[in-house]
Structures are given as C-alpha cells and as structure tokens.
Structure 1
Amino acid sequence: MEDGAGDDLYQELWRLCAGPLMDVPCVQDRVFHFPPGHIELAEMESDEVYARITLQPSSDTDPLDPNPICSEKPKQKFYSFIKTLSTSDTSTHGGFSVLRKHANECLPQLDMTMENPTQELVAKDIHGVEWKFKHIYRGHPKRHLLTTGWSSFVAAKKLVAGDSFVFLRGENGQLRVGVRRLNPLQSPTSSSVVSTQNMRLGVIVTASHSVMTNTMFVVCYKPRFVSIF
C-alpha cells in the first residue's frame, strides 16, 4: 500500500468485495458479539476476502460503559460500482460493457472532443497487482467499454457469468478492482482459512480457554459465507 489514502482504498475495496452486510468496528471498540469481518485479507487463488482477527478477552463486561471514542481519520470520498457479469462480459473475445451512469460517476472522464474517446486505466486488485484496461466510448448506439486487458482479467480471475465486478475510484484518482463470486471458488488455502464444520468447536474451545486465562486468541472466517461464530 502506497500511503494512507491507498490504505483507505484497499479497506473500501475489501468491504465492497465482502458485501453490504459487513460492519467494521473501530480499533478498541468493545465487542460483545463477534462482528462480521475486519483486518482485510484475500485468498491469492480465488480473491475471496476473509478476516483473521486477534481478540483480547476482558473481565470488564459492564454493558453500560461506553466504547472509547473512535479516533479513525475521516476517509476520502469513494466512487464505485458493482456489476453482475453477463455471458458476453465473460467472453474472451469481447469486452466489458459499463453502464453510462457508472461510467459518468466512477470512471475517469474521457476527452469527448476525440473522434473515438479512449484512455488507459491502471487499477490494482485486492493483492496490489496492477491491471491495465482500455476504456473506449464507441458503438451504435455508443457505449462505454473496457476492451484491451479485460479478457486477461477474466481469465486470470476465472470469472463466470453471475460473478460480480467491483470498480472503485478514490478522490485522488487511484483505481481499484475486485470480484465478488456467485459461488465459492475452491482454492488451496480454503481449508486453512476457515471450515465451519471442522473449526467451530475448536474456535469455541480456544476462545473459552483464552477467556479463562486472559490471553489473546485468533479467529478466522469468511464474511461472505457462514460465520464460524
């Protein structure tokens, strides 16, 4: 991550990939119920986001005590869209069609004085890998398209119709892209990250022991699937 603004963008990208039901607490917030995901990570093979969280048990459980005042800095303004991919979007011979509303609100502006307005977009994914796309405005009727570079992204991310493409732009002009899977994509790290069937009991036992001994413990889970708590 390049700077604080870059950190904000990656955190926002993680939230968009995780889905709309995620609620991220502030640092030092008192947690009485295990929250849906923070500390942003993603699997290398599938781009599925997950969380690995270290919790410190507290003997002070008075619910009337307020949380510490959140000291997080105000974040920059974000512009984003999420589009469910069609069969044509995932074709290796085609491009990605961007709705006019999304293009106007989220993509960097094109020079419309050109006969065929075009520009190169450079965006980083959840792992910090750069992807280059050609953004062009053409056709009859004219529409916004991502062409060169899109098929490589589709192939590398193993995208299929029904998956969603996440696009994010910060007010500083930095771009981020991500994916949200329709169905889980198996990856070599899946079993080591979380398994609700095999880890639920172990997590509860570990948490119980940590509460009794007042020691920190780690919980891992995927926020877009079934939580292990």
Structure 2
Amino acid sequence: MPEAGLWDRIAGMGAEKSLIERRLVLPLENPEVAGHYQLVPPRAVVLFGPPGTGKTTFARAVASRLRWPFLEVLPFQLADDAHGVAAALRRLFAPVEHLDEVVLFFDEAEEIASERQDPTTLAHRVTKELLKLILQFRRGERRLLICATNVVRSLDPAFLRPGRFDYLIPVGPPRTPRPERPSGSGTQGPTGPTGSTFPRWSRPATASPPRTSSTRPAPPPRPPSSGTSRRIRQTLRTPAG
C-alpha cells in the first residue's frame, strides 16, 4: 500500500494532476456518482512522457488516494523468470484476479509490448499474451491497470486499439507556477472568467485531452538503453522454439 498523503504532496504539475484526478480518481472514488452521470470508471490507462517526469509517482499517488493495494512490475523481473516472459505474465496476473481492488503498474511497457515485426519471435508471443491478460483484467470493476512508457509510438498498434485502454495521458516535466494576476483584471483563466468557478466534475481540463494513436505527437529521442533493456529485447527477438 503506498504511503498516505502522496497525492497531496505532488506539486508543479497542476495540469496533469487535475486531468488524472478528473479522468481516473474521481470516477473510481465515487462509482455511484459516476453511474448517475453514465460515466464508466476507467479500467486501464497509459501514461506517456519523457523519462523522469513523474509517471511512476502519479501511479503510486493514484493508489494512495484510492487506498488500494499497489503492485509494480518492472521488465527485468519478467525477463529473469526461468520459464520465460509469457509464463511470468500469466503467473503475475493469476493472483491479481482474486483481488477486489488493486492498482497494477507496468513501468517501461515498451519493453514487453513493442511493435511486433516478426511473428516467429518471442516478442510476438509475449505481446499476444499480454493483450489477452489485459482483457481479462478489465472484467474487474475496482481494478486499474496503469502502463507507463517513454515512447508511446514504440508500442504495438494492437496494444492501443479501443477496448484495451480508456485513456492515453501525457505527463510532461514539472513547471514553475506562474505569478497570479491581480484580481479584477477581467482576464480569462483556465476555469472561466476571473472569480468564477465550475463544479468539480465539470471543470474544463487544463491539459491536452488524451490523444489517440492517430493524433499523438512525435516522440522525444529515445534514451540510451540500459543493459537490462538490451538484454530483454535480445531475448524477445530470439525465434520461438
């Protein structure tokens, strides 16, 4: 269980925090209210952005805010399994099926769900297995899958098709807060004219809406691969025996 109060300590990323709160946290915190407005709480989302922008912190903070168990999965943990990555994925998801509430977080998702080029490689088998497990995971109403990636374009196109992930949410670097404008200036702020407020559920988003795979921006340069990442990719490219 993540430490309490983590959500409140996130600073410098107000736009992302507001968007994640409105899209993820509030519908999951208040399922009755969501049902009244015919909103379906999310089951799976992708956070994408450059390294070091807080994707893991946001995932932990969502679990902290919801008071749900948090399970983090790193690619090297799957690669070290003696029975292979696909088998490791099945063993990982099996106990999760018995949890009523959980936030399951996959970091560096591009390492295990990269675009498939050769159907004879292990990468093809691993991505296919993960896609099946995601659909099974989505059957739980109080479970949330969060996948983080530095390069969203490197994910397999099938990974981003409708029915698997509800939102693709960009997470940018923290920003320095702008100085507040003097009251009475008559300027138009992100929540409407100065001094006006909106209900919490209908407040306009201050960040760009989640983009689909057809409108996402060009990715930043991919960071140098670590030794672990190179080892994972080399393993997945090996022809399946």
Query: What TM-score does the superposition give when structure 2 sets the normalisation length?
Result: 0.27
Instruction: Say which structure is richer in helix.
Output: 2
Instruction: Say which structure is richer in strand.
Output: 1
Query: What TM-score does the superposition give when structure 1 sets the normalisation length?
Result: 0.28
Greater CA radius of gyration, 1 or 2? 1
